[in-house]
Amino acid sequence: MNKILNYINGSYQEPITGEWLDNYNPSTGEVYSKISKSTSEDVENAYQAAKNAFPAWSNTTIEERSRILLKIADLIEANLDRLAQAEANDNGKPMSLAKAVDIPRASSNFRFFGNAITQFASEAHESVGLNTMNFTLRSPIGVVGCISPWNLPLYLFTWKVAPAIAAGNCVVAKPSEVTPMTAYLLGEILTEAGLPKGVLNIVHGTGPEAGQAIVAHPNIKAISFTGGTKTGEHIARTAAPMFKKLSLELGGKNPNLIFADCDYEKMLAVTVTSSFANQGQICLCGSRIYVEESISEKFKKDFVAKVSALKIGNPFDGDTTIGALVSKEHLEKVESYIEIAKNEGGKVLFGGERVLVKGFENGYYLQPTVIEVKDNNCRVQQEEVFGPVVTIMTFKTEEEALHLANDVKYGLSATVWTNNLNRTMRLSKQLEAGIVWINTWLNRDLRTPFGGMKDSGVGREGGFEALRFFTEPKNVCISYTDLPNNS
């Protein structure tokens, strides 16, 4: 059986304890590989490798760092099929999605930050009249930690490690133990691209053990984390007494506001995707639909018709749009929310049942589920389900829609469908979300700041924001004197 080894100091290594975790293929429900069950000792080895690599890497020219990142991007592209297949096996997502989105985006992350670092500059402030000049020196932090979740495995892993190394840091990184395969395969690519040993170390294992060891390590000075809000809270508690720099990208419960004056057909097609792409397991999915009352009956009918036509199947069928959920535990969690919603008065308009896929009978398949709710305070409206479950509520006025949208603890993203320009301006300002999409969804320009408000996170990544996070700014203030009058 394949073993998922740690990648430390430029080579693959078994975990020190010799213990392994089972890795499941969600589309079949079978264990298909073994994962290193790393402990704080493996993390320490990774840290030492990173520490030793730091002096040389942080003094490597920007051009050379950029060249290596671009080479990694090229190699990810060259391995598109292999990586997409690995992602589908490990995560349960349709291979077509991994091929169109996950793996190209992983490559883009390296390409983007390989280019961005060549344009990254810092500020100078002249104190006019005081004869002082300030400039900001931005240095890499040292050894940093990157921890990523299972929903977009290589996509989110590279979203963190690429800017971290571009900025001159060395990294100890941990992908989710639920989906470690593509991060494991990345090790080969890093070696082939000529990334110096120890610059990027990848440790596998559980969150509470390997992840916690990274966060608690006294000399890992910054943590970039994407995952659940509860885990983020725990990480913040662990890191706070050590005053670590933290970037937390956490959960979401994103509203999708549909006004009667929208471009209806475009809205309908995109809303199906924003509800169920990646089995609804994207932090940016629009899991709460609010639709203006005058079009609500038509919308419900048309939406259910489109959702019922989605093809649930094994990830390798070319026409599958909904694959398997990531794990048995997650499937059960999502099902429990469907029950909670029903018990709280929700009406299931479509779905809610497991699906048996021929030849893949033990896989974790669930119908896309549409639930009509009346009360914004019920749990399915307030808590993140993170699966193929979307709710629908109606509203009468823009004020009411805004109130319902903001009335949750999360603030990651929001989508608005309207052709009223004044309304788009009002709502973009008033919605409590780090990203507002108007008449579109998941449209990403990597230069833009990415992150959430409220319980959806702290800080922003993306573009120069990520490079700012991964560098330490220092103000240098120089006082100078004028030439003497008689000179």
# chain residues binding ligand NDP, by CB under 6 A: 33
Residue choice 226, 256, 314, 321 for contact with ligand NDP (CB under 6 A)? 226
Task: Using CB under 6 A, pick the residue from 37, 71, 93, 174 that binds ligand NDP.
Answer: 174
Residue list 417-456, contact with ligand NDP (CB under 6 A): 452, 456
40 binds ligand NDP (CB under 6 A): no
Contact residue for ligand NDP among 104, 227, 352, 388 (CB under 6 A):
227
Q: Does 203 bind ligand NDP (CB under 6 A)?
A: no
* Cβ neighbours, 10 Å, residue 218: 8
Q: How far apart are CA 92 and CA 173, in angstroms?
A: 23
Query: Which residue type does 110 have?
Result: F
| Choice between 156 and 402, CB closer to ligand NDP | 156
Nearest CA to 17 out of 220, 208, 219, 205 is that of 205
Identify any residues that bridge with 222 across adjacent strands, giving them in sequence order: 144, 245
- 314 contact partners, CB below 8 Å, separation of at least 6: 27, 320, 323, 324, 357, 359, 360, 363
Length of the chain measured in residues: 487
Burial class (CB in 10 A: 0-12, 13-18, 19+), 160: buried
**387 near ligand NDP, judged by CB under 6 A:** no
Compute the distance between CA of residue 419 and CA of residue 11 in angstroms, rounded to an integer.
55
CB nearer to ligand NDP: pick between 340 and 348: 340
Q: Which is nearer to ligand NDP, 178 or 291 (CB)?
A: 178
Q: Which helix (H) or strand (E) holds 451?
A: none
Q: What residues between 53 and 92 interact with ligand NDP by CB under 6 A?
A: none
Check binding of 231 to ligand NDP (CB under 6 A). Answer: yes
Write each residue from 243 to 282 as x if it is in contact with ligand NDP (CB under 6 A), else as -, in one continuous string: ------xxxx------------------------------
Using CB under 6 A, pick the residue from 92, 149, 153, 463 that binds ligand NDP. Answer: 149
Q: Does the protein bind ligand NDP through residue 235 (CB under 6 A)?
A: yes
Interacting residues with ligand NDP between 89 and 108 (CB under 6 A): none
Angle (nearest 5°) at CA 443 between 435 and 292: 65
Supply the minimum distance, in Å, between the C-beta of residue 179 and ligand NDP. 8
Q: How far apart are the first and last CA of the chain?
A: 82
Tokens of 354: 């497991």
Distance CA 354, CA 369 (A): 10
CB closer to ligand NDP out of 275 and 296: 275
Give 388 or 452: the residue with its C-beta nearer to ligand NDP. Answer: 452
**Kind and range of the H or E run holding 480:** none
- Least distance (Å) between residue 455 CB and ligand NDP: 10
Strands (E), 316-368: 347-350
Nearer to ligand NDP, 252 or 363 (CB): 252
Give the CA distances from residue 30 to residues 26, 329, 441, 476, in Å, rounded to whole numbers and listed in that order.
Answer: 7, 14, 34, 58
Site string for ligand NDP, 119-148 (x = CB under 6 A): ----------------------------xx
> Known catalytic residues?
249, 283
| Residue 453 C-beta-side C-alpha neighbours within 13 Å | 15
Binding site for ligand NDP (CB under 6 A): 147-151, 156, 174, 176-178, 206-208, 211-212, 215, 226-228, 231, 234-235, 249-252, 283, 384, 386, 412, 452, 456-457
